[in-house]
Amino acid sequence: MNAGNDFDTDNSLKALSRSINRPAITLGAIVLALVLGAMRLPFLEYLRPVGDFYIALLQICVLPFLLATIPLAVRSAMAGGSAPGSLRSLLFWALMMLVAVAAVSVIIPSLFFGYASPDEQMITNIGALLGRSAESVDVEFAIDARHGAEITGAAEFAILSFVPTNIFASLSSNDSVRVLVFAAIFGIGMVLTERQSGPFDFRRFAPYPCSLRLDFRLVQPAGADWYRCSRCAAGGATRFGRIYCADAFCLSISGHRSVAVAGGAAALCVRAARIPRQGLWRLAEAGDAWRLHP
């Protein structure tokens, strides 16, 4: 009964999605938004949170999308032997787009200002836009010669500034270009690693969901070490299992727990990798019990 209801709900959602995602509706919505925006009706301010929410939803997709697709795209291009062609195509389209954007940015203002010379209000609006885009100030510099050398150097090697030194900082600051560069390098690295040690099997990650618990480990009780290690070891004696064991050991001794607990957990891990899986699951259950009732 419930399954039937879920099925109906699923179908109705799909039908709704299909009916909304039509070009005519999208274009109609854009036209309506433009008209309403031009009318500057006071109540439109109340719609702002909806728009902000939608934009935020789009923005949160950008970086994960880049991180997920670029390495795989690079990998498939390189693994499929189409890398040189893809690179040529990429460069061609990048140059074409650059020329097109430059041409548009020259031609459109020329045409526009040729017919309508900017008045004071328009200049004020453009200035306000410029002021906002600069956020605070246009240039920052130091009189001290040492800081000056940094500025000059940064300008001369601007391309190097796209290479991320800290990918997490780039992610947190929405620095898409650096994330893109990282993703491309990651994809290339993945292909090169594969060529040396065989194809990369993403399914190997499946038995190790517990790796995601790492971030929370500092607030877990000591029994969680046992729990986590036994869970991981349950996957069998694989390369990732050993890496995880070493990782867990290092984190344990750098955390707030005692070396004895950490050492015991790591030893259990190494040992557990050789124990039959049924036994390991029992250990995991014991770990669960300890975690819940330490």
Give CA–CA dist 82/94, Å, rounded.
18
Give CA–CA dist 291/278, Å, rounded.
20
Among 28, 109, 148, 263, which residue interacts with other proteins (rule: CB under 8 A)? 148
Nearer to other proteins, 32 or 149 (CB): 149
142 binds other proteins (CB under 8 A): yes
Shortest distance, CB of residue 161 to other proteins, whole angstroms?
A: 13
Among 84, 131, 189, 279, which residue interacts with other proteins (rule: CB under 8 A)? 131
Question: How many amino acids of this chain bind other proteins (CB under 8 A)?
Answer: 24
216 binds other proteins (CB under 8 A): no
161 binds other proteins (CB under 8 A): no
**Quick check: 265 and 210 in contact, CB under 8 A?**
no
Give CA–CA dist 225/259, Å, rounded.
12
Nearer to other proteins, 125 or 193 (CB): 125
Q: Which two tokens stand for residue 292?
A: 């819940």
Shortest distance, CB of residue 162 to other proteins, whole angstroms?
A: 17
Give the helix/strand (H/E) hosting 75: helix 48-79
128 binds other proteins (CB under 8 A): yes
Among 25, 33, 98, 130, which residue interacts with other proteins (rule: CB under 8 A)? 130
Give the helix/strand (H/E) hosting 189: helix 176-197
Per-residue x/- track, 92-121, other proteins (CB under 8 A): ----------------------------x-
Shortest distance, CB of residue 147 to other proteins, whole angstroms?
A: 6
How many other β-carbons are positioned within 10 Å of the β-carbon of residue 111? 10
Nearby residues of 46 by Cβ (< 8 Å), 6 or more positions away: none
**Quick check: 265 and 229 in contact, CB under 8 A?**
yes
**Quick check: 249 and 265 in contact, CB under 8 A?**
yes
Shortest distance, CB of residue 149 to other proteins, whole angstroms?
A: 10
Residues that bind other proteins (CB under 8 A): 120, 123-128, 130-131, 134, 136-144, 147-148, 151-152, 155
